[in-house]
Chains A and B, each alone.
Chain A
């Protein structure tokens, strides 16, 4: 790095210090980054320092003693203003939800009932079918069809059971 660049860098660093705070007398007495070629340059640092002092000494602008209290009141007002808005929104949302929720629930119940009825019908139909199949399986236990060709045989087969006369006598 060239010496002139280093000097400029030191100058800039010093300026950035004096922009924030006044230089101490010892700092003011330090040689600047580059040799002072003229008295005007020496004055420059003094002016910078005085300006910083003057800016630092600017008085604080007046702030009302109840400033914080007034801010808190304003904040409470904002909060109170927002709260009814939030409540109104919640009410609006609830109304919308209930408006479509009840009919939807009714439709769902009806569909569920129809579905269950259909399902029950399916189950019972299968049960009936199963009974029919079971009944048909006992057909083979019947006498062959040739037997029913004889009327007499049919007559004897179809008769009601005769009373048990002996049992009746005992019971009497």
Chain B
């Protein structure tokens, strides 16, 4: 079966020729998945937004060097992961104490909470929200490579080979990372996964 041409590659080739509209289209398409990855990797919402923006700036600056040898999303997530790793290394070299007071909420930016814990309503929704919070916490405590592997698994566009390319390791090593990450999450979330709330989650 012939591989489908990647429409993002066509957009990126237009970006190489200076087409700003094509670049804006790529940003619109991938800003959410990039933010999901970056936000759950670095943790801090403000830094996450800066890094996510920088991902696309790097894409633009590197446009001339881009070669359509792989899917655009693989290249994009590789840049995103590398910028996240840079940030994590920077934090290790220069650890900082978090501010006690949260920053004031700006009108265009809603309160930055990862978990949807503010939704009132039936017990089901509250339990689901609690599960989400627990998953976020468990994900944050995973080693970076396992966490990134699991987060990239959520991206339907990426195959296991492409996830391996982003992580820079072999296919078998990637599957091992995913398996170990999931085993850790299952251990930590067992009470929630066996609970009624998780079991009542409607499958698609």
**Dominant SS among interface residues on chain B:** helix
* Contact among B110, B132, B186, B201 for A58, CB-based, below 8 A: B132
B136's partner among A48, A58, A74 (CB-CB below 8 A) is: A58
Please tell me if the beta carbons of B108 and A65 are within 8 angstroms of each other in the complex: yes
Q: Are A61 and B39 in contact (CB under 8 A)?
A: yes
Given contacts A51-B189, A72-B24, contact A59 B199 (CB under 8 A): no
**Closest approach, in angstroms, between the C-beta of A61 and any C-beta of chain B?**
4
- Report the count of interface residues on B (CB-CB < 8 A): 54
Pick from A24, A25, A58, A63: contact of B135, CB under 8 Å: A58
Instruction: Please give, as numbers and ranges, the residues of chain B lying within 8 Å of A144 by CB-CB distance.
Output: none
B53 at the interface (CB under 8 A from A): yes
> Cβ of B23 and Cβ of A22 under 8 Å apart?
no
Contacts of A51 in B (CB 8 A): 182, 185-186, 189, 193
Is the beta-carbon distance between A67 and B53 smaller than 8 angstroms? yes
- B106 to chain A minimum Cβ distance, whole angstroms, is 9
B179 interface residue (CB < 8 Å to A): yes
Say which one of A12-20, A85-93, A101-109, A153-161 lies at the interface with B: A12-20
- Does B27 interact with chain A (Cβ within 8 Å)? yes
Main SS at interface, chain A: helix
Interface residues on A, range: 35 or more
Q: Using an 8 Å CB-CB cutoff, how does the interface string of B15-47 with A read, 1 for contact, 0 for none?
A: 000001001100110011001100110000100
- Report if A62 contacts B (CB, 8 A): yes
Contact B182 A48 (CB under 8 A): yes
Contact in complex: A75, B57 (CB < 8 Å): yes
Closest approach, in angstroms, between the C-beta of B78 and any C-beta of chain A? 18
Question: Is A8 located at the chain interface by the 8 A CB criterion?
Answer: no
Interface centre among B32, B48, B182, B194 (most CB of A within 10 A): B182
Known A64-B109, A65-B108, A66-B108; 20 more pairs at CB < 8 Å: A21-B156, A50-B193, A51-B182, A51-B193, A54-B189, A54-B192, A55-B135, A57-B128, A58-B132, A59-B114, A59-B115, A61-B35, A61-B40, A62-B112, A63-B52, A67-B31, A72-B23, A75-B57, A75-B60, A78-B60
- Nearest 9 pairs between A and B by C-beta? A61-B39, A50-B198, A50-B193, A53-B201, A68-B27, A71-B56, A75-B60, A63-B35, A22-B203
